[in-house]
Chains A and B, each alone.
Chain A
Amino acid sequence: MIHVQGLTKRFDDLVAVDDVSFDVAAGQVFGLLGPNGAGKTTTLRVLATLLRADGGRATIAGHDVQREPEAVRRAIGVVNGGMGLYDRLTGREVLHYFGELYGMRRAAIERRVEELDGLLDLAGTLDKRTGEFSTGMKQKIVVARAVLHDPPVLFFDEATSGLDVMARRAVLDFSRRYPGEARAVVWSTHVMSEVEELCDSVAVLFRGRVVADDTVAGLKEAAEAPDLEQAFFTLVRRSGLAQGQEVAA
């Protein structure tokens, strides 16, 4: 479903994403694990066609991100932790706006909103302006907006930051269920427990490079570590990329 090969992105002298490669199959939740500044968001922005790669190649649902950006954008949904919404529109208006931008007809949008109401419990969010929402309500509409057009690929970028325990649980459960057999999820985070719970496989990013790429169990085994956090530190230290920076044991 997602194929990334040698992806590189530079900002002047800074190499934000350096020769990153990974594959995500249908039915998988794939984790991008790394600290702030590791290159997770930049990688997702390149895959979402917001940024142009300086090197490498990526395809999503069979479409090249550089050559077929519009087809790629039809195939993806994005949930980020910013929870950006239009304060003066109601939840329903936000969903209709984005639905129409995805080329959906009004009746189709309304049917999909009904479906998503069942999945995400949107009651109380649809006819109220989003500026009056709690954080949890906002995140429900943000998720609903991302999956409104039923994309085969869904990106979550630090999607649980700032959420309370109930809202966080709802997002995690939804993400676990979403892939089914035909769709894929990329879950970008720095929270180890989320990766352990959700991801079928994971790429560990540090300073723009993939330092390891395996299942969670495979990473622990390779690092001979009892948990993912210990494995993360060991793998980063072994990569030699952490020189000049203290990495916990």
Chain B
Amino acid sequence: MRWSFVRRIAAKEILSTLRDHRAIVSNLIIPLLLLPVIMLGLPLLLGGLFQREATTVTELAVQGVEHLPPDLAAAIEAQAAVLVAVDDAESAVRGDAYPAGLIVAPGFADAIAAGGRAEVVIVVKEANLRAELNAGKLRSAVDAYRRGVVAERLVDAGIDPAVLEPVAVSTLDASTEAERSSGQLAWLIPFFIAIWTLTGGQMTAIDATAGEKERGTLEVLLVTPVRRGEVVFGKFLAVVLFGLSAALMAIVGFVLGGTVLRRLFLPLIGEQGGEMAAMMGGSLTITPTTIALLVVSSVLMAAVVAALLMSVTLFARSFKEAQTYVAPMSFLLIVPAIALQFKDLIGTGSFAYWIPVYNVMILMDDAVKGAARLAPILTTWGVMAALIAVLLAFAYVNFKREDVLFRT
């Protein structure tokens, strides 16, 4: 292998891709912007919507308002709601005249006053998020009223209301600081890195293989004294570079998004938005070790994806045909990403680190949670390096096959 030829091949592919505006947008700009938009936009949007719905005074339909005890009416109105008397609450909600409603049974107030049991029905379209938020106002008001009545009755009977809660239950979160701050949706980090290595590398890979065949330049390239292995490795390096650059842009976007979210926007977006931000890793603290692990793992992921892309796209006769081959490849990354989401249920014994691609995703997840250990790291990197070698050998063999190079 003559390094000067490999470097020349790679440099030409890099220059060619850099001059393709579509590739730059999809490789560098979109991954850099997409994650911050998701991380900032979603919590801001949902937090804002939740907060608006919680504070906006909403009209709620009440059937049998005359049976409603004043205390309960006051509790509901305290939840930013106005009670509107209707004859049929179910019809009113079904017809979308009101987001939620309450049916108060006749004699409700009297039954409660007499120490008896009475019934209210909350009417809501459960599939409607806004309706559910408003039904929540009714539920919390009714619940507060119920607890008040129970406490009153117990006191009247000379019983301490604490008797209803003989066992005090609380939860102690045993997660490490890194695990807590990584959020429940931290699996999105390896998922995005995997997807962006594919997205970032595919245009270069297709252009360097099927594109060369379609233009008729591959034949001209192969009649120069350059060796097939040098061609394969030079093109492979260019594909890795663009896959990696897209993944790194995604990581930068993620870190930027998390930082901006935590420092600037969390105070503005209310409690629920803050919870969502935390779920998405908005409180993530990324250490130099985490970054190093993510970078090395991304390089390996990008190299596997690049070698796979090179092997597959060379079979295609044209750019368009190659794109149809690449599309299903995303499933190879999506399936392990979905498995990663449920890794706590599936279990991640040492065997998981022997499964290519999935192992890198687990390792990235471990890294952001500060849980990466040496043995799984070495296993993962070793397995991925072996896979890269096998895929590159396969690509090399294909570059020597006449039926692949001159397929018409």
Contact = CB atoms under 8 A, between A and B. Distances in A.
Interface of A: 45, 48-52, 70, 73-74, 76, 78, 80, 82-89, 93, 97-98, 100-103, 129, 145
Contacts of B4: 100
A209 B224 CA distance: 28
A102 B224 contact: yes
B16 interface: yes
Contacts of A45: 219, 406
Contacts of B224: 73, 98, 101-102
Contact of A86 (B5, B217, B222, B227): B217
B225 A103 contact: yes
Interface of B: 4-5, 8-9, 12, 15-16, 19-20, 212, 215-227, 402, 405-406
Nearest to B17: A88
B8 A78 contact: no
Contacts of B223: 48-50, 73, 76, 78
A88 B227 contact: no
B225 A88 contact: no
A80 B221 contact: no
A172 B406 CA distance: 28
4 shortest interchain CB distances as A-B pairs:
A84-B216, A82-B216, A84-B217, A88-B19
B402 A52 contact: yes
Nearest to A81: B216
Contacts of A51: 402, 406
Contacts of B16: 86, 88-89
Nearest to A75: B225
Contacts of A97: 8, 12
23 contacts: A45-B219, A45-B406, A48-B223, A50-B222, A50-B223, A50-B402, A73-B224, A82-B215, A82-B216, A84-B216, A84-B217, A84-B219, A85-B215, A86-B16, A86-B215, A87-B215, A88-B15, A88-B16, A89-B12, A89-B15, A97-B12, A101-B5, A101-B225
Contact of B405 (A48, A50, A82): A50
Contacts of B225: 70, 73-74, 101-103
Interface of B is mostly: helix
A88 B20 contact: yes
A129 B16 CA distance: 11
Given A83-B216, A87-B215, 12 more contacts: A51-B406, A70-B225, A70-B227, A76-B223, A82-B216, A85-B217, A88-B19, A101-B225, A101-B226, A102-B224, A102-B225, A145-B220
A50 B219 contact: yes
A51 B222 CA distance: 11
Nearest to A9: B402
B235 to A, nearest CB: 13
A187 to B, nearest CB: 17
B207 to A, nearest CB: 9
Contacts of B212: 84
Contacts of A85: 215, 217
A49 B402 CA distance: 11
A159 to B, nearest CB: 13
A48 B12 CA distance: 23
B222 A101 contact: no
A97 B14 CA distance: 13
A80 B216 contact: yes
Nearest to B230: A101
A84 B219 CA distance: 9
A84 B226 contact: no
A151 to B, nearest CB: 10
B220 A84 contact: yes
A26 B217 CA distance: 28
Nearest to B402: A51
A141 B162 CA distance: 92
A85 B12 CA distance: 12
A89 B19 CA distance: 9
Counting chain B CB atoms within 10 Å of each CB, the highest count among A82, A98, A100 belongs to A100
Contacts of A129: 19
A173 B226 CA distance: 30
Nearest to B224: A101
Contacts of A83: 216
Contacts of A52: 402
A98 B217 CA distance: 11
A106 to B, nearest CB: 11
Contacts of B5: 101
A87 B207 CA distance: 11
A89 B9 CA distance: 13
Contacts of B215: 82, 84-87
A159 B221 CA distance: 17
A202 B119 CA distance: 105
Contact of A100 (B8, B20, B221, B405): B8
A53 to B, nearest CB: 11
Contacts of B406: 45, 50-51
Counting chain B CB atoms within 10 Å of each CB, the highest count among A70, A74, A87 belongs to A87
B402 A101 contact: no
B299 to A, nearest CB: 26
Nearest to B215: A84
B19 A101 contact: no
A74 B225 CA distance: 6
A87 B216 CA distance: 12
A87 B217 CA distance: 11
Contacts of B226: 101
A73 B230 CA distance: 15
A76 B406 CA distance: 20
Contacts of B216: 80, 82-84
A31 B336 CA distance: 58
A107 to B, nearest CB: 16
A154 to B, nearest CB: 12
A73 B216 CA distance: 17
